[in-house]
Copies of this chain bind each other. A is one copy, B any other.
Amino acid sequence: MASVMTAMQPLEHIMEELERADGLGALQAASEALCDHYGIDHVVYHWVDSAGDQYGCGTYSNAWRARYLEQNYLRVDPVILGCFQRFHPVDWKRLDWSSKAAKAFQAEAITHGVGNQGFSVPIRGPNGQFALFTVNHSCNDAWWADWTEAHRRDLILIAHYFNEKALEFEPERTPEQSQALSPREVDAMTLLAMGYSRAQVADTLSISEHTLRVYIESARFKLGAMNTTHAVARAMSRGLIVV
């Protein structure tokens, strides 16, 4: 249980390497180092971006990665689907593998060298960023249960550092931080995001609907949005409004 608290030099060394990492290659190297350190088959970091864009690094075979992307397994993979609704790290056994697609997916994964046991830590960043840190191994249930229990805390922390570095190295994936909205514009966007119509927003803010329109338009302009819905979506994803 107390693994995080006990001295474990090689892990400490890997963590320090990770903190000093200055490129995506370092994450790949860290994945491999972690595999060696723990004596497990695979360590993988998988960033699942906005429009189904993906980025990852880790020790899965290139063939399996290619196949995964090519088949768009993103929309089938129970690990992705399950972790997206969770906060807790999760053992793969607790996911829903019942669908036909999931079973086929699993079978194919195993033929590509993916182990039967897995443990994934969901990680979330700003603007809806989502990633998974996964450790994977081929072994029996009891051994895996002991191992994951023993290293749970380490894995949470390592997952956090992986994501921290990935965000750092890929700033273009969390794009421009545009100019801020004026208070009135924030009010307008916020109320619109809450489902109020323009008339209701104007009424709530005690201004004419014409005036409100000016705010919406200027907010739309500042956010580079094509319409109100777009503007609200951008304001939300940039954290300019909290709804």
Contacts and interface: CB of A to CB of B under 8 A. Distances in A.
A225 B87 contact: no
Interface in A1-54: 1-2, 4-8, 11-12, 16, 48-52
Q: Bin the interface of chain A by size.
A: 35 or more
A55 interface: no
A183 B100 CA distance: 13
A238 B160 CA distance: 22
A208 interface: no
Contact of A124 (B1, B125, B194): B125
Contacts of A233: 192-195, 232-233, 236, 243
A86 interface: yes
Nearest to A125: B87
Given A7-B5, A190-B51, A237 B229 contact: no
A105 interface: no
A236 B232 CA distance: 10
A156 interface: yes
Given A4-B4, A128-B239, A236-B236, A192 B48 contact: no
Interface in A187-207: 190, 192-197
Most chain B C-beta atoms within 10 Å of own C-beta, residue among A156, A196, A228, A229: A229
A236 B128 contact: yes
17 contacts: A4-B4, A48-B242, A51-B190, A74-B242, A75-B183, A75-B186, A75-B242, A84-B126, A85-B177, A88-B164, A122-B126, A124-B125, A128-B243, A192-B229, A192-B233, A195-B229, A233-B236
| A-B residue pairs, 8 tightest by C-beta | A195-B230, A124-B124, A193-B233, A195-B226, A87-B125, A84-B239, A128-B242, A229-B229
